[in-house]
A and B are shown apart, each in its own frame.
Chain A
Amino acid sequence: MARLANWLRLAAMFVAVAFSATASFPVAAGVDLPRLEKGKGDKCVEDTQFMRRNHMDLLKHHRDDTMRKGIRTTRHSLKKCVECHASEKSGSVAASKEDFCAACHSYASVKLDCWDCHATKPGKKDLPLLGQSGTAVNSSPLNSIAQPGESK
């Protein structure tokens, strides 16, 4: 039993060391902040700071609304994100490490699984910024989180 305890202690130490090493790696290596390509149009559908913090919530919320309820507003739809933010060079948001989504997410080391299913490039027949119909509906981004698609 005592031997087992020693083994466990050793294993725990290894894990702890490995963990702290990986956690501090980007800082130690001095990785540059990601440089993001500017999207099409004047500005994003929400304030940039707000988007940085909350884009995932908006997307997740919109995804459930569209998928489960058939609500098809475009303001916070992933498809529209892709249309504006697809890179000039690769035509995609996640094809190379410089592309909009991939740049930040690889820097922050947050794995994305959107692109297993969703297209990373805008559709051929879709015109970017078509109508911006969503903007007329929701007055505030927070409002749209709290009350899905009911503000008419």
Chain B
Amino acid sequence: MAHELCTNQMECRTSQFVALLALGGVVVLGALYAFFTLEHHGHVLTGMNNQIVWGLPHVFAVLLIVAASGALNVASIGSVFGKQVYKSRAPLSGMLALALLAGGLAVLVLDLGRPDRLIVAMTHYNFNSIFAWNMIFYNGFFAIVGLYLITLMDRKLKGWSKPVGYVAFFWRLGLTTATGSIFGFIVARAGYNSALMAPMFVVMSFAYGLAVFMVVQASMYRWNGITLDEGVRRRMKNLLAIFVGGSLYFTVVFHLTNMYFAKQWEFERFILVDGGIYTKMFWVGQVLIGGVIPLILLFIPRSNDAKKMCFCFAAPLLVILGGFAQMYVTIIGGQAFPLTLFPGHEVNSNFFDGVIQSYSPTVYEWLLGMGGVGVTFLLTVIAVRAFKFMPQDDFHALKMRRSTD
């Protein structure tokens, strides 16, 4: 068994590999087309405007970036907390983290009003800005996780993997804290402006990142016709359940707190009761598809064969979809709700003051957003093909451990 796992079986199926590359390539080309079109004509072609200033591309970008730091968690559990099952998955986890971050950043950069000035963003930092800190965290993440990957995959440097793993772990906590704080630090808007944003994003990143990892892992195993060990599967299932539960917990606390503050009632009513698409996205997308249903799938007793499907693929896939809904509600719902300039007053103007702003993304926003997913997909497919990222379990040692667990 161990011998089988050591050979990289992807090598043999070149035509299918090329097909995957083509698929990813087409999606990325679509994003480039959108980028050059927007670069020429301006954002007038998008559904974004002076009210919804961050749109669909940002939903994709933030989801990918948050999932990136979460995907690294599998490696951290191995290196920092010393769990053998996760150690053997550390390289795949690190690589996925880099691919996800690259995808997310690509969207973020391609959506800038002046992407040609990216060099300005890399050379001028306003250290009061959490956004500037994010850029430092993102760049540092590439460097640190890249180094971490080297220590994991080079036999001579293996000893360094633990200390570097520690640095990577704390760096990723910082990164997600900073990403959540992009919203948490916005004092102006009812939907943000909360210290809870940072820890909530951290917990959600655990869930989304692990979900992406599990989907990729399941795909790789299926591609190679290998069955994931029952014990490994059970561990990851439980871990995902904890993270999904944690995300739900933070969501509940966030909204309960808001419901306690009279000044936040209008906003809560908007998200929870009569916000149209945002209310649907919240209850159906974030809570049901991203939370409740995956938990049921993870815990409902099933026959052995069905379990495999649900644990490793369906449940994490739903968590990712729920993550998309959550980001949509957080980012776009938070802007659609009008700013309160004069409490206790009804406000109107011809600049859309006091109205719930509608947002309908155009094809360009979809192309940009999907392009980020495409970049991640492409990088992952190439990396998995070129290097040995396939998790390799030493089942003899595992069995020994399981008896003591």
Contacts and interface: CB of A to CB of B under 8 A. Distances in A.
Q: Verify whether A and B have any Cβ pair under 8 Å.
A: yes
Interface of A: 1, 4, 113
Contact of B116 (A1, A4, A113): A113
Contacts of A113: 116
A59 to B, nearest CB: 17
Contacts of B386: 1, 4
Interface in B211-254: none
Nearest to A1: B386
Interface of chain B: mostly helix, strand, loop or mixed: helix
A4 B382 CA distance: 11
A1 B116 CA distance: 35
A113 B119 CA distance: 14
Contacts of A1: 386
A1 B11 CA distance: 10
A89 to B, nearest CB: 27
3 contacts: A1-B386, A4-B386, A113-B116
Interface of chain A: mostly helix, strand, loop or mixed: loop
B382 to A, nearest CB: 9
A1 B385 CA distance: 10
Contacts of B116: 113
A4 B14 CA distance: 13
A109 to B, nearest CB: 16
A10 to B, nearest CB: 16
Interface in B347-372: none
A150 B128 CA distance: 30
B288 to A, nearest CB: 44
A40 to B, nearest CB: 32
B236 to A, nearest CB: 31
Nearest to B382: A4
Interface string B368-391: 000000000000000000100000
Nearest to B117: A113
Contacts of A4: 386
Nearest to B385: A4
Shortest Cβ-Cβ A-B pairs, 3 listed: A4-B386, A113-B116, A1-B386
A1 B387 CA distance: 9
A4 B116 CA distance: 31
B8 to A, nearest CB: 11
Nearest to A4: B386
Nearest to B14: A3
Nearest to B116: A113
A152 to B, nearest CB: 30
A1 B388 CA distance: 12
A17 B33 CA distance: 26
A68 to B, nearest CB: 12
B25 to A, nearest CB: 15
A1 B8 CA distance: 12
B250 to A, nearest CB: 42
A113 B386 CA distance: 41
A24 to B, nearest CB: 25
A149 B116 CA distance: 31
A76 B386 CA distance: 56
A113 B39 CA distance: 13
A26 to B, nearest CB: 23
Interface in B94-124: 116
Nearest to A116: B114
A103 to B, nearest CB: 22
A69 B116 CA distance: 26
B398 to A, nearest CB: 30
A116 to B, nearest CB: 9
A96 B386 CA distance: 51
Interface string B27-57: 0000000000000000000000000000000
B326 to A, nearest CB: 37
Interface in B184-199: none
B36 to A, nearest CB: 15
A87 to B, nearest CB: 25
B112 to A, nearest CB: 14
B154 to A, nearest CB: 16
B40 to A, nearest CB: 12
B390 to A, nearest CB: 16
A4 to B, nearest CB: 6
A113 B116 CA distance: 10
B168 to A, nearest CB: 27
Nearest to A113: B116
B376 to A, nearest CB: 20
A4 B387 CA distance: 11
A139 B386 CA distance: 64
A101 to B, nearest CB: 18
A69 to B, nearest CB: 17
A1 B386 CA distance: 7
A110 to B, nearest CB: 14
A118 to B, nearest CB: 15
B47 to A, nearest CB: 23
